[in-house]
Amino acid sequence: MTAVTPELLSRFDIPGPRYTSFPTADRFVEAFGAEDYILALQQRKAQAPFGATRALPLSLYVHVPFCDSLCYYCACNKIITKHHEKAAEYLDYLAREVDLHTRHCGRGQPVSQLHLGGGTPTFFSDDELSRLMELLRGHFRLEAGGEYSIEVDPRTVSNERLAALKALGFNRLSFGVQDFDPEVQQAVHRVQPAEQVFALVQEARRLGFASINVDLIYGLPRQTSESFARTLEQVNALRPDRIALYAYAHLPERFKPQRRIVSAELPQGADKIRMLSGAIEAFMGAGYCYVGMDHFALPEDPLAVAKRQGRLHRNFQGYSTQPDCDLIALGVSAIGKVGATYSQNAKTLEEYYDALDSGQLPVVRGLALSRDDLVRRAVIMSIMCQGAVLFEPMEQAWLLNFREYFAAEMQALKEMEGNGLVELGEEGFQVTALGWFFVRAVAMLFDRYLQADRNRARFSRII
């Protein structure tokens, strides 16, 4: 902490991407549409060595946009409503979208990873979740031993609902906690007593869920390093298998709900650094592995194992154990990855429904990656996931001379080395312990889009 000087903060606490993908979603173009996405699906099917059902396993993401109430910090695509009948109509359209997918990529594709996000997936009733899982199993093959997870708002579930989720095949839960402090919860309009979360986690363990994740956010209104330290103690006592720790991105000009947050109540850079530093120390002191920028996991958790074995990757849900897995994304605004392409669905229900009513996949924008994009993605993901880049493997994989290809970037790395953020060597470079606070800034050096466009206001600050 003492090494994080005001000068470093002012220089490197800048807006920047979180690199859940590269190129980032703001670079997607409308010139990439449904036909381009269909071509990627068909190419995937054609490349399967022994037919569609022998293809490499897929990852599925289903976006459920509905929420009963508004959390002021939220930047997700969501629809606030008390009308639960909207869920049944949404499921009808999800069924159409799934059917269109399997027409192009083949029925019975193996799936080893499924994630339901939102919004609030538990806005769906047990019967509706059952219908969704039946739909997915009818079109894809959910493999034994896969990771099947769902995001859970503790205010929307009971012990009985947890048992229903287990019976449906979910084996991983992610509880949205954010902060246990009552004052902070009131400031962000998400009040949920710690006792409620503890009781649900205890029941989830009794039911035999393989993994439990807890989401936390630092930098929220009325949060202090002292109050957040108390939350960290409670989380350590809860001892989830994984912890996702995110920096709050205050962008009220982009996300209307955030305008309800009092800016004067937000902690500033130095205090946020203390929160981040305190979290790293608290969780590692409790036996967690620091997986990456925003994830911690117990040593035996598959995420920590993947980190040790060099198999870690980042996708649109954060860190993942499956580095080369195609991601099919279903639902309004969902973002997927198939082959060397990214695609995003329509962001409003009206557009999403209109496309499916016309018998079209609801893809409205995306990107076909160039060779340079793929090279830079490999470098950026290596930085974000392993905190290091080795020159020779990159050169062999991409048939290039790393120092020549990235001559300008290597010069910029020398400046970061002078600030103690990276260590350069003959065989490559690695991020230092201090550099992990600014790892997004290190990755940004290799983002040619950012180097060409210095307008970074669209991104959150990296601390």
Pairwise pLDDT comparison (77 vs 380), residue with the higher score: 380
* pLDDT the model gives residue 52: 44
Give the end-to-end CA distance of the chain in Å, rounded to a whole number: 13
Query: Span 66-70, mean pLDDT?
Result: 93
Identify the band that residue 6 occupies on the pLDDT scale cut at 50, 70 and 90: low
* pLDDT the model gives residue 336: 95
pLDDT in tens, 210-265: 999 999 999 999 999 999 999 999 999 999 999 999 889 888 988 889 999 999 99
Residues 6 or more apart in contact with residue 374 via CB below 8 angstroms: 340, 398
CA distance 364 to 344: 6
* pLDDT the model gives residue 463: 67
Q: Please, which residues bridge with residue 231 across strands?
A: none
Cis before 119? omega within 30: yes
Identify the band that residue 180 occupies on the pLDDT scale cut at 50, 70 and 90: very high
Identify the band that residue 315 occupies on the pLDDT scale cut at 50, 70 and 90: confident
The pLDDT of residue 397 is above 70? yes
* pLDDT the model gives residue 7: 74
* pLDDT the model gives residue 355: 98
The pLDDT of residue 55 is above 80? no
Rounded to two decimals, the pTM is: 0.91
CA distance 331 to 292: 28
**Whether 194 contacts 237, CB under 8 Å:** no
Q: Which domains does the chain have, with CATH numbers?
A: 20-368 (3.80.30.20), 371-452 (1.10.10.920)
* pLDDT the model gives residue 49: 55
* pLDDT the model gives residue 51: 47
The pLDDT of residue 457 is above 60? no
The pLDDT of residue 2 is above 60? no
Identify the band that residue 462 occupies on the pLDDT scale cut at 50, 70 and 90: low
Question: Which of 45-59, 71-85, 270-284, 325-339 comes out lowest in average pLDDT?
Answer: 45-59
Mean pLDDT of the residues in the chain: 91
Identify the band that residue 426 occupies on the pLDDT scale cut at 50, 70 and 90: very high
Query: Span 342-365, mean pLDDT?
Result: 97
* pLDDT the model gives residue 53: 46
* pLDDT the model gives residue 311: 85
* pLDDT the model gives residue 48: 64
